[in-house]
Structure 1
Amino acid sequence: MYERQGEEVVPSPKFKQLIAERPIGMLWATYRADPWTKKTLANGLNPALAAKAGNALQRYMLEHTRLGIPIFLAEEAPHGHMAIGTTVFPTGIGMAASWSPELLKEAGEAIGKEMRLQGGHISYGPVLDLARDPRWSRVEETFGEDPVLTGVLGAAMVEGLGGGDLSQAYSTVATLKHFLAYAVPEGGQNGNQAMVGMRELHENFLPPFRKAIEAGALSVMTSYNSIDGIPCTANSYLLDQLLRNEWKFRGFTVSDLYSIEGIHENHAVASSLEDASLQAVTAGVDVDLGGDAYTHLIRAIREDRLQEAVVDTAVCRVLRMKFAMGLFEHPYTVPEVAAKEVRSREHIALARRLAQASITLLKNEGGLLPLSKSPTQRIAVIGPNADNCYNLLGDYTAPQAAGNVKTVWDGVRSKLPASQVEYVKGCAIRDTTAMEIEKAVAAARRSDVVIAVVGGSSARDFKTQYKETGAAIADKGILSDMESGEGFDRATLSLLGGQQTLLEAVKATGKPLVVVYVEGRPLDKNWAAEQADALLTAYYPGQEGGNAIADVLFGDYNPAGRLPVSVPRSVGQLPVYYNKKAPPCHDYVEMSATPLYAFGYGLSYTEFAYSELRIEKQNAHTFTVSFCVQNTGT
């Protein structure tokens, strides 16, 4: 949509053509940079250039269209604005492990400010899907398995993004994803049907969305899946009766990318793309993210197959937001301010605080942690995620300039002299053609303690191919590290590549072993739970993840993260989540039916005692619970 000309940015011929041929009012992912968009640090937009691009597009809209209506720029922003030079926070599942609405509100404020400074208006996020199947590729984007935690955290982030008051300078139109029951597809296959009953929808899957809407969310995105045979992008009960009539939602709805096409092409319940577009718009989908499906609406109106009032209503819902945001009066932003205040020191510090709060200690046998900073202590830092900056960031993340991301190796070296820390990669996440097991073992033998950083990756790269929707295509012939992130569903949860071999070889040296999982989904931790001396999960901790992990390992931060999603023992027991309906599960022949680590679990470096429990009934549905907590440790 833009062309760079040195330090200036102008509208592209393609943009001008779109404006002339089919008057558009909104763009998506204009500032996005990743291998799918083929935008890099070299040809993409830094914050100042992004602001110039937004200004150039707005100016063209105001000066070269019949009505001079400003354009909306919608951007991906689940854990930071997905653009070059912005702050990268932990992914959703990591933020949820903090259990801190205060921190998530701060993150929302930072994300909203960085977006608006660059000329963006609509933030895609937070993701409120309930994650009950870790095989599904997008667990990392969610706030976990619990509707209460998800609702509270989602509402806090929406409040940070502006709380629905678009008159504020840095407010965005927060877009909730994905409506509805998207995270529980059959077989863990992204976009498959969800086998969920109406009662379950109302008890668990709908409350987080309602709470976030009450907090001010002004947009809702439909999901790719179907429920009871009805594609969610054509479900009038959800989009019209429930959202509009019962909840009194006054924002606008938007399809996920090409989900309107999916009504015809994937779900096969529409005879054509035109039929699919009519189903979607009459069901209550106001905006077509793909942009092609709704080109059929004008002809349908002229042929009396669609009432013009349906389109007028959708237009009204979007146009109202542009007025509320003040775009007609103040359509431009200041590039110099964007250059100065995007990815500020304050936002980087917040990214570190959020990462610290998310890290979850699962085992600490014999009090191995926190590690000593003794001038004689030697540490071996090994593993495929020990010094790979992109593997810390998760999906929906832009390319990073050198030095932006702090790895675990960076973090450990900030605590000890470089001469006391040795790094060996050992193996890749998936590729087994370049193994360094013997080298890693040798480093372990020279050390006093081994920190093994393993797990997974959602890092997109230029080897991976992508669908038009942006979802990755799992290609058995190309072994990037990517085993999670949109489109990378798993059939197992075990460590891939040579990681298990690496862990066993290092364990055999007899040196104390700390295992850190950097992961987008709860992977199999059975071996580590038995064999490691200490075990942590850091999820995808973002750009300050390495520093935060080191802060926890060396005791500069007491681990306070608690699991927002259960860790299963086996894929054979899925789904495993804490609030299942009665009757309770019974054990299998081979193993317990309980999770390896349950929702809410997490250790600390100290011990706590709880006393004086008081439960006071307020009314039929509300109780106040209070108690005293004492730190009884050292």
Structure 2
Amino acid sequence: MKTRNILLIAGLGLCLNVTSSIAQEKFLYKDARLSTNERTADLLSHMTLEEKVGQLLCPLGWEMYTKEGNTVTYSDKYKNLLDKQHVGMFWAVFRADPWTQKTLENGLTPALAAEAANAMQRYAVEETRLGIPIFIAEEAPHGHMAIGTTVFPTGIGMASTWNPALQEQVSAVSAKEVRLQGGHIGYGPVLDLSRDPRWSRVEEAYGEDPVLSGAMGAAAAKGAGAGDLKNPFSVISTIKHFIAYGIPEGGHNGNSAIIGQRELHESFLPPFFKTVEAGALSVMTAYNSIDGIPCTADGYLLTDVLRKDWGFDGFVVSDLGSIDGIYSSHRVASSLQEAGTMALDAGVDVDLGARPFVELIDAIESGKIAMAKIDSAAARVLRLKFDMGLFENPYRDPKAAGREVRSKAHVAVSRKAAQESIVLLENKSNVLPLYAKKIKKIAVIGPNANTPYNQLGDYTAPQERTAIRTVLDGVKAKVPSAEVIYAKGTAIRDTTQSDIAAAVQAARQSDVAIVVVGGSSARDFETKYIETGAAVADAKSLSDMESGEGFDRSTLDLLGDQIKLLEAIKETGKPMIVVYIQGRPLNMNWAHEHADALLNAWYPGQEGGNAIADVIFGDYNPAGRLPISVPRSVGQLPVYYNKKVPKGHDYVETLASPLYTFGYGKSFTEFGYSDLKIKDQADGSLEISFEVKNTGSLSGDEVVQLYVRDEFASTVQPIKQLKKFDRIHLAAGKSKQVIFVLQPEDLSVINPKMERVMEAGSFHIMVGASSNDIRLEDKVQISTTVKLPLYGKIK
């Protein structure tokens, strides 16, 4: 490669520029006055095959910098990757966790992260032939996975808020923190419908419903800055995993998904379409296969649906190693090169892991794939670099990163999100809220009562202990004059740590016992990890981790001695408030029957302990609602609410219904519903209106939900399907009229010809507080059949 050489003649102070013929070319792509398409076309015209392929590579990034004390710069490995492979994108540069072996000691603070990013960009822009800035892609499913950032509730917790506006706010904070440190792409949201809680990644997704998932996903993309890449705090949202990854056979992460084309289009693709429609510009493929085709090599999904039908013009990135998996796991390619050509031909633009796409150079030269495929993929990546303004502004301000990442304002958003995500499942005899002035002694007990990492969820970097508020921290802050007695009692899994006697003694000495149980996705340095970063679950392992990527379950029971702990505390006769901190719906049968109050907090993030205490002591009236059903038994699975008719009958041993169903959640107040009205609109839509009144004595939020059942359709339909929802606030005694508008697409089905149609017929309209708590209902007759596009085009 020809380069510009600068010779400094000592003594004369004379600098001579020896410029090659290539460097003398006029690079129009550097002219910011030109359009993105013009600049992209010009840049491609100057690029070699190797340079184009380099833009399609995304290697692992945490070895791309070196740190000595408070000094950081790019590493030799980074320099070699740019010099030899012309790499245009890196993943997880700032990631810190046991897999990367980056800790609070050897990892990067926000300010140092910005300095590292600047050093990497400076080499790319100033020391390479074409000066193309790099993309840095970061994990950001519930906050940026980096040291010193703000940690929010995981996806299942955010879905429990039923508040897209709040999700938009959370995503805006997360995006800002990614950009302040020098990142450009945020991996998330996760849109996999979760119909099997044995699956290890339920915590990352928005639950079992396509409408709720689509609304939350679209809000996340908007919050991250979709449609406004010139905004210095916007990121490119990478939505994942495309598609049907959340329903693997046996709950095994990455196993094949058994699903028909109609169900794929009716339930699983719509959340992705809504999020792409909202402006998401990157889509990640899934590890699984569908009907024998690996999703990372499925041209129907990645080209016909995503690009041709939807008009998606962003880039598709493989999940880490999923192109390799076409060869090594799925066994439908006989080499890495064949796997790479299959993925590129199907519609994958970027290789996360960067092994098979390196082989594309030889594949082009041997005629196995067309050069136009490389050009198209490289153009999609380069266009976004131009749109983001990286050629003009590749650097960030380290001082701003140090000042603004995890600011007080950002932490306040985390607390609000945690508050709204908490679901009150039981409150017998109105034991909650507790009144702090009347309590002298409180026992705070359990494996998740004061274990900071257990409340943060997977895809969280190490954080300083002072930044995390556990339940014990929150309770102590609420009742500074009371005596708070803490006893762990048990670990999550490890029975050798149990000291139930100490927990019982703490409860007996107290007026009330708060017992915090559940699960953990906290990674540790003893757990082994495979190349994709998924943990290797081991039945003999004493790690507390029982959820998070790779930790699939065969039961949903509480592990270790947790049930023994609950039973022992119950026997003391003291009022018992049970809190589940968890990544999936675990077995709650015992707590449902015996606890005086039961709260579900999922993984509530760094402010979770404060938020839980806010609810327990009545400073916040809970209004979280379940986005996924809680089964009574693994033998019921799947038990999602919107199964197709007919309704299942009960089992010999148990009911067919879940313990707690989709949309369920209690409040400290009560709400009444009345005056349902359905009006035909001139544009063919239906206006549904009704009154909601707070009939209790406390202000609070209610999540109103509208469900529809198509009574007789050309294809089998769900028992009921959520169509609209809203989270509203009402002061005690106040009322509000709620209006929903159902469009023809809301009443449509996919008929036997795979056409989307609103068919003439009868529709059952149901309004209520959950999927099984319907307060108002009526039927409406549609007289005209209307054919609709299967999907709209992305504008």
Mapped to 1, the partners of 2:71 and 2:393 lie a distance apart of: 21
Asked whether the 8 Å contact 2:470–2:608 carries over to 1, the reply is yes
Q: Which residue of structure 2 aligns with residue 329 of structure 1? A: 392
Q: Deviations over 1:371-394 (max 9, x none)?
A: 111254321110000000000000
- Gap change, CA 1:590 and 1:301, over 3 Å in 2: same
2:672 partner SS? strand
Mapped to 2, the partners of 1:65 and 1:170 lie a distance apart of: 27
The answer to whether 1:159 aligns with 2:159 is no
Q: In the TM superposition, what is the alpha-carbon distance from 1:321 to its structure 2 partner?
A: 0.2
Q: Deviations over 1:399-418 (max 9, x none)?
A: 01121100000000011126
Mapped to 1, the partners of 2:540 and 2:553 lie a distance apart of: 16
The answer to whether 1:429 aligns with 2:485 is no
Which letter does structure 2 place at the counterpart of 1:114?
E
1:318 partner SS? helix
Higher relative contact order (Cα pairs below 8 Å, separated by 6+ residues):
1
Q: Deviations over 1:526-569 (max 9, x none)?
A: 11100111111000000000000000000000011000000001
Mapped to 1, the partners of 2:443 and 2:466 lie a distance apart of: 22
2:437 partner SS? coil
Mapped to 2, the partners of 1:29 and 1:549 lie a distance apart of: 31
Asked whether the 8 Å contact 2:225–2:235 carries over to 1, the reply is yes
Q: Which residue of structure 2 aligns with residue 458 of structure 1? A: 521
Q: Deviations over 1:480-533 (max 9, x none)?
A: 110000000000000000100000011011111111000000000011100111
Q: Indicate which of 458, 465, 471 corresponds to 1:408.
A: 471
Asked whether the 8 Å contact 2:452–2:465 carries over to 1, the reply is no
Q: Which residue of structure 2 aligns with residue 556 of structure 1? A: 619
1:278 partner SS? helix
Mapped to 2, the partners of 1:133 and 1:418 lie a distance apart of: 45
1:60 partner SS? helix
Mapped to 2, the partners of 1:346 and 1:281 lie a distance apart of: 43
Asked whether the 8 Å contact 2:440–2:482 carries over to 1, the reply is no
Asked whether the 8 Å contact 1:224–1:233 carries over to 2, the reply is yes
Q: Indicate which of 655, 663, 670 corresponds to 1:592.
A: 655
- Gap change, CA 1:466 and 1:608, over 3 Å in 2: same
The answer to whether 1:350 aligns with 2:385 is no
Mapped to 2, the partners of 1:373 and 1:574 lie a distance apart of: 41
Q: Which residue of structure 1 aligns with residue 320 of structure 2? A: 257
The answer to whether 1:269 aligns with 2:332 is yes
Q: Which residue of structure 2 aligns with residue 446 of structure 1? A: 509
Which letter does structure 2 place at the counterpart of 1:380?
A
Asked whether the 8 Å contact 1:164–1:173 carries over to 2, the reply is no
Q: Which residue of structure 2 aligns with residue 566 of structure 1? A: 629
Q: Which moved more, 1:176-185 or 1:16-25?
A: 16-25
Which letter does structure 2 place at the counterpart of 1:168?
N
Q: Deviations over 1:43-73 (max 9, x none)?
A: 0000000000000000000122111100000
Q: In the TM superposition, what is the alpha-carbon distance from 1:626 to its structure 2 partner?
A: 1.9
Asked whether the 8 Å contact 2:458–2:549 carries over to 1, the reply is yes
Q: Deviations over 1:71-127 (max 9, x none)?
A: 000000000000000000000000000000110000111011111110000000000
Q: Deviations over 1:177-234 (max 9, x none)?
A: 1000000000000000000100000000000000000100000000000000100000
- Structure 1 segment 212-611 matched on structure 2, within 5 A: 212-374=275-437, 376-417=439-480, 419-611=482-674
Which letter does structure 1 place at the counterpart of 2:152?
F
- Gap change, CA 1:619 and 1:492, over 3 Å in 2: farther
Mapped to 2, the partners of 1:393 and 1:362 lie a distance apart of: 21
1:193 partner SS? coil
1:465 partner SS? coil
Asked whether the 8 Å contact 2:439–2:511 carries over to 1, the reply is no
1:535 partner SS? strand
Mapped to 2, the partners of 1:519 and 1:499 lie a distance apart of: 13
Mapped to 2, the partners of 1:625 and 1:487 lie a distance apart of: 44
The answer to whether 1:31 aligns with 2:31 is no
Mapped to 2, the partners of 1:6 and 1:558 lie a distance apart of: 47
Mapped to 2, the partners of 1:376 and 1:169 lie a distance apart of: 50
- Indicate the RMSD between aligned Cα atoms, in angstroms: 1.0
1:263 partner SS? helix
Which letter does structure 1 place at the counterpart of 2:598?
L
Mapped to 2, the partners of 1:513 and 1:620 lie a distance apart of: 54
Mapped to 1, the partners of 2:71 and 2:314 lie a distance apart of: 35
Q: In the TM superposition, what is the alpha-carbon distance from 1:624 to its structure 2 partner?
A: 2.5
Asked whether the 8 Å contact 1:375–1:416 carries over to 2, the reply is no
Q: Deviations over 1:223-252 (max 9, x none)?
A: 000000100000000000111100000000
Unaligned runs of 5+ in 1: none
Mapped to 2, the partners of 1:217 and 1:52 lie a distance apart of: 28
More strand by share: 2
Mapped to 1, the partners of 2:121 and 2:620 lie a distance apart of: 46
1:58 partner SS? helix
Q: Which residue of structure 2 aligns with residue 127 of structure 1? A: 190
Q: In the TM superposition, what is the alpha-carbon distance from 1:164 to its structure 2 partner?
A: 2.5
Mapped to 2, the partners of 1:145 and 1:91 lie a distance apart of: 15
Which letter does structure 2 place at the counterpart of 1:109?
A
Q: Which residue of structure 2 aligns with residue 56 of structure 1? A: 119
Which letter does structure 1 place at the counterpart of 2:687?
T
Q: Deviations over 1:572-591 (max 9, x none)?
A: 01001111111111100011
Unaligned runs of 5+ in 2: 1-63, 698-795
Q: Deviations over 1:433-470 (max 9, x none)?
A: 12111111111111111110000000001111111100
Structure 1 ranges of 4+ moved more than 6 A: none
1:605 partner SS? coil
Mapped to 1, the partners of 2:685 and 2:135 lie a distance apart of: 42
Q: In the TM superposition, what is the alpha-carbon distance from 1:7 to its structure 2 partner?
A: 2.1
Q: Which residue of structure 2 aligns with residue 613 of structure 1? A: 676
Mapped to 2, the partners of 1:538 and 1:22 lie a distance apart of: 46
Mapped to 1, the partners of 2:559 and 2:449 lie a distance apart of: 16
The answer to whether 1:626 aligns with 2:689 is yes
The answer to whether 1:146 aligns with 2:231 is no
Q: Deviations over 1:333-355 (max 9, x none)?
A: 00000000000111000000000
- Gap change, CA 1:116 and 1:610, over 3 Å in 2: same
Mapped to 1, the partners of 2:556 and 2:584 lie a distance apart of: 9
Mapped to 2, the partners of 1:177 and 1:90 lie a distance apart of: 18
2:601 partner SS? strand
Mapped to 1, the partners of 2:388 and 2:131 lie a distance apart of: 16
What is the aligned length?
A: 634
Q: Which residue of structure 2 aligns with residue 104 of structure 1? A: 167
Q: Which moved more, 1:271-280 or 1:178-187?
A: 271-280
Q: In the TM superposition, what is the alpha-carbon distance from 1:320 to its structure 2 partner?
A: 0.1
Asked whether the 8 Å contact 2:555–2:634 carries over to 1, the reply is yes
TM-score (normalizing by structure 1): 0.99
The answer to whether 1:94 aligns with 2:160 is no
- Gap change, CA 1:621 and 1:152, over 3 Å in 2: farther
Asked whether the 8 Å contact 1:463–1:478 carries over to 2, the reply is no
Which one has a bigger Cα radius of gyration?
A: 2
Q: In the TM superposition, what is the alpha-carbon distance from 1:620 to its structure 2 partner?
A: 8.9
Which letter does structure 2 place at the counterpart of 1:112?
A
